[in-house]
Structure 1
Amino acid sequence: MDTIAEARRQWTEHGWSESALGMSAVTSLMRAQAIMLRRVEAALKPFGITFARYEVLMLLTFSSRGSLPMSVIGGRLQVHQSSVTNAVDRLERAGLVQRTIHPDDRRAFIVTITDAGRAIAAEATTAVNAQVFDSPGISAAQAERLVDILAALRANAGDF
């Protein structure tokens, strides 16, 4: 049984028909996000990193110097600074990044990916590509439409 379809039916039956489609869309999106996160986390588990830590490693990998200020990491990943601190703390303990005091602002930190971090990022990317990104569970055409739909949602929310 599709529980979201049943919830939509119940929404309509209880007099909220004008909200039933939106509830179904939002609930479906949240359920799909949980499914994808579980798949990605399973692919990353052998490397001892979470998706949040993987995102930090990849952002550093893509940066021209392999380092960024912590505030820039938070801004680019669109997460709270405490989340960045938590991820960097764990990555640093694992020897995958180094944190140093910013040369121009002693209150700020620069995070630099280590050679071990680059190696883990590369291996983890191979795994995530093979186990999730190459086959997201929908066709390429559906994936293109989904990206367009979600881009519109994100734009309307001021995400970019």
Structure 2
Amino acid sequence: MSDRDPIREARQQWVDHGWGEAADGMAMVTSLVRAHQLLMERVEGALRPHGLTFARYEVLRLLSFTRSGRMPMTRLGSLLQVHPTSVTSAVERLVKQGYVERLRRDDDRRVILAAITREGRDVVEAATASLNAQVFTAPGVSRDDVLGLTELLGRLRSASGDTVITTP
């Protein structure tokens, strides 16, 4: 591990090349992308023993939160804020693993539902326990920093068009 901060050095390069007005923003975006990479390594490490990726975990977790354990594929994509192709791919893998079934809605056979199986419920509970223990309970900064960062990222998301509702 190097004792040099490549993002700080890149920021200085921005300043040296006459892009000083963009240097702080570049450093923020690059830091955010790097933090995302580091957190995803931890998340994927916690999920790997369960045979899940984060995308598949999110599908299972969302389905498990519904009363019926099923949801139209289009609604899944909307709630997860991903392209329909990504949902289809994740659901296909979950079907192969036996964690999800594809069903047709009785009242409209055109609607395809994803439905969590008993095995899917079991694996999502075990995976959630791993994520809570290995990542979410101790993400790497203090609780106050977690709350502040979440609020700050909410402002960034809101400025980019996301609906963000702050809680008291």
**TM-score bracket for this pair, using the shorter chain length:** over 0.9
Distance 1:11 1:106 in 2: 56
C-alpha distance after superposition, 1:88-114 (max 9, x if no partner): 000001000111123343333111100
Q: Does residue 120 of structure 1 match 2:128?
A: no
Aligned pairs for 1:49-128 within 5 A: 49-128=52-131
1:146 to 145, 149, 164: 149
Q: Alignment partner of 2:110: what SS?
A: coil
What residue is the counterpart of 1:20 in the other structure? 23
Displacement after TM superposition at 1:86 (Å):
0.2
Q: Alignment partner of 2:52: what SS?
A: coil
Displacement after TM superposition at 1:156 (Å):
1.1
Displacement after TM superposition at 1:157 (Å):
1.0
Give ranges in structure 1 of 5+ residues lacking alignment.
none
- The aligned amino acid for 2:151 is D
Displacement after TM superposition at 1:33 (Å):
0.5
- The aligned amino acid for 1:134 is T
TM-score (norm 1): 0.98
Calculate the aligned-residue CA RMSD, in Å.
0.8
Distance 1:89 1:122 in 2: 20
Distance 2:103 2:63 in 1: 14
Q: Alignment partner of 1:18: what SS?
A: helix
TM-score (norm 2): 0.93
Q: How many residues align?
A: 160
Give ranges in structure 2 of 5+ residues lacking alignment.
164-168
Distance 2:108 2:148 in 1: 44
Distance 1:104 1:21 in 2: 54
Moved over 3 A (4+): none
